[in-house]
Chains A and B, each alone.
Chain A
């Protein structure tokens, strides 16, 4: 069965610091992988996705993620955090349906 694990339900960083949000997946076949962001009282917005090809994927707002099959990971990074990045981030994997991780709430301190 397919599952997604996000390590750390809360992550706090200072403005300008590196953002690293961890995601591991478990699937019998390599799934398609996504990162979504959710701001308060809003739906989810796609940050980036991996389907095939290049394992380093660049998304919106300066985020990127690297697919590592050997580690079954798809961690999300951003070199320099901005106050506007404070939100909840969801990793998701899809084969026949989209399965979400439990989310990581990112706080950014000035």
Chain B
């Protein structure tokens, strides 16, 4: 079974631009979560989608948004990029329950904002 895939793997953007990251979950997984990883803040939860609905949200500004499609694929969008948005963005999928089901992570998208 194929793992979680994320595209693109690397991205360089300029401050003020917007960016869209894509995540394809493991086949059969209906939950997709997004995380931001930085050296200073560590791994922080962005949001979780289940059956095309945002089920949970972390403490990030409204510039960070996401969506999930009927095939469970998910996209994350960041508008008006800031230098501090430079990070590794990780996507994870799980079967259903956010609590007990383990999450399987993709390799991440490394975003650099200049």
Contacts and interface: CB of A to CB of B under 8 A. Distances in A.
Contacts of B106: 43
Given A96-B98, A100-B35, 18 more contacts: A32-B99, A43-B106, A43-B108, A46-B103, A46-B104, A94-B98, A94-B99, A94-B100, A96-B56, A96-B99, A97-B48, A97-B58, A98-B92, A98-B103, A99-B45, A100-B43, A100-B44, A102-B42
A96 B42 CA distance: 19
The 9 closest A-B pairs by CB, nearest first: A43-B105, A100-B43, A44-B105, A51-B100, A43-B107, A102-B42, A97-B56, A32-B100, A46-B102
A32 B44 CA distance: 17
Given A90-B43, A96-B98, A45 B105 contact: yes
Nearest to A102: B42
Interface residues of A, number: 23
By secondary structure, the B interface counts as: strand
Interface of A: 31-32, 34, 36, 41-46, 49, 51, 90, 94-103
B107 to A, nearest CB: 5
A82 B100 CA distance: 30
Interface string B16-57: 000000000000000001010000001111001000000010
A41 B90 CA distance: 11
Q: Which of A32, A34, A43 has the most CB of B within 10 A?
A: A43
Contacts of A98: 33, 45, 92, 98, 103
